[in-house]
Every structure is written in structure tokens, then in C-alpha cells.
Amino acid sequence: MFLIHCPYCNEEREQEEFSPAGEAFIARPEAPEDISDEAWADYVFYRTNHKGDHWEQWVHSNGCRKYFMVERSTITHEILKVAAFGADISE
């Protein structure tokens, strides 16, 4: 039950307005047909599932409907950073 700052609405809103959309940085392989079954499985199924500060995707589903990235502690639920796709997240 945390608050999330939507980088598009520029508002801090209740988690209820948002939906989680999985781990961030799971990029679709550029040429799926050229990669091995293992690499394809890694993309489709395997996850880091990190315990600690973790980048993930959320969508403002009951708001602007934009997807964005959130760095959140999976231990304390504290949200450390929020970023739009394509934004520089290196600080």
C-alpha cells in the first residue's frame, strides 16, 4: 500500500491506481529467430527476482495509462526512483 509518483501525471498517487507490469529491462531480443532456445527461454521466463533495490515496470492503469519504471526495495517497499522509459536512470 505505497504511493507511487507517476512521472507523466507528475502526481504521487495511491498504489491502487497502478498495476505492476513485471521486471524492468527484460528487452525483447532484436532477432528472435536467430537466438538459441535457451536465450529465448531466458527472455520469456527467467527473471532476476532481486531481493533489494529492484527496477520494475508499473502502469498508471487507472490514470494516464502510461508505463514507466520504478526502482523499489522489495524488502521495505520503499520507492527510490521513478523514471519514464528512455529517461536516464544513471542518476
Partner 1 sequence: MQKKYSWYSLLKAGLSGQDWDQAIPLVEPKSKYDVIIIGGGGHGLATAYYLAKECGITNIAVVEKGYIGGGNTARNTTIIRSNYLRDEASSLYEHSMQLWEGISEDLNFNVMFSQRGVYNLGHTLQDMRDIERRVNANMLNGVDAQVVTAKEIKEQIPIINTSQNARYPIMGSSYQPRGGVARHDGVAWGFARAAAMLGVDIIQDCEVIGIEVEEGRVKGVNTTRGDIMADRIGCVSAGHSSVIAKMAGLRLPVESHPLQAFVSEAMKPVLHTVVMSNAVHGYISQSDKGDLVIGAGIDGYSSYAQRGASRIIEHSAAAILEMFPIFSRVRMNRQWGGIVDVCPDACPIISPTKIQGLYFNCGWGTGGFKATPGSGHVFAHTIAQDKQHPLAKPFHLDRFTTGALIDEHGAAGVAH
Partner 2 sequence: MRVEQITSHQIDRSKPLTFIFNNKKYKGFEGDTLASALIANDALLFARSFKYGRKRGLMAAGVEEPNALVSLEMGGRYTPNLKATEIPLYDGLSAKSATNPHSFDLRAFIKPLHRFMPAGFYYKTFIKQAVWAKVEDSLRALSGFSEAPTQEDVDVYDHVHHHAEVLIVGGGAAGMSAALEVLKNSDSERVILVDERARLGGELFNEFASDEAAAIWHEEGVADLCGFAKEQSDRFTMLTRATAYAWHDQNYVEVLETHATGENLSLTNGSQVRKTLHKIRAKKVILATGAHERPMLFEANDLTNIMLSQSVRRYLNEFGAVSGKKVVVYGNNDSIYQTAQDLHRCNISCTVIDVRSAGATNSIADKTRQGGIKVMQGYAIVKAHGSDKVDGIDVALAVRQGVSWEVIGESESLSCDLLATSGGFNPVVHLDCHTGAKATFDEVSQAFLPQKERPNRQTCGAVSGVGAWHDAVIDAKNKAQLTLQSLGVVSEVNNAELGENHSNYYNVGEFFTPAAIIERPKVFLDLQNDVTTLDVALSIREGYRSIEHIKRYTAMGFGTDQGKTGNINGIAVAAAILGKTMPEVGTTTFRPAYTGVDFGALAGRENGGLFDPQRYTTIHDSHVAKGAEFEVVGQWYRPWYYPKTGENIHQAVHRECLAARTSLGMMDASTLGKIDVQGPDAREFLSRVYTNAWMKLAPGSCRYGLMCNEKGMIIDDGVSTCIGDNHFIMTTTTGGAASVYSTLEMWLQTEWNHLDVHLNSVTDHYSTIAVVGPNARNLMKLLCQDVDFDRESFKFMQWRPGIVCGVSARIMRISFSGELAYEINVEANYGRYIWDQVATVGEKWNITPYGTESMHVLRAEKGYIIVGQDTDGSMTPADVNMNWIVANNKPFSFIGQRSFSIAALSAENRFQLIGLLTKDASVVIPEGAHIIDNGGKSVGYVTSSYFSPMLGRSIAMAQMQGGLSKVGETTIVKIVQEKQGLKEIPCEISSSVFYDINGERVDGND
Contacts of 14 (CB under 8 A, 6+ apart): 1, 3, 4
Closest CA relative to residue 6, chosen from 71, 84, 73, 78: 84
Touching partner 2, residues 10-49 (CB under 8 A): 14, 19, 21, 27-29, 31-33, 35, 37, 40, 43-44
Give the one entry of partner 1, partner 2, none that residue 38 binds, where binding means its C-beta sits below a cut-off of 5 to 8 angstroms depending on kind: partner 1
The residue assigned the cell 509518483 is 5
Q: Which member of 30, 33, 37, 88 binds partner 1 (CB under 8 A)?
A: 37
Q: Which is nearer to partner 2, 22 or 91 (CB)?
A: 22
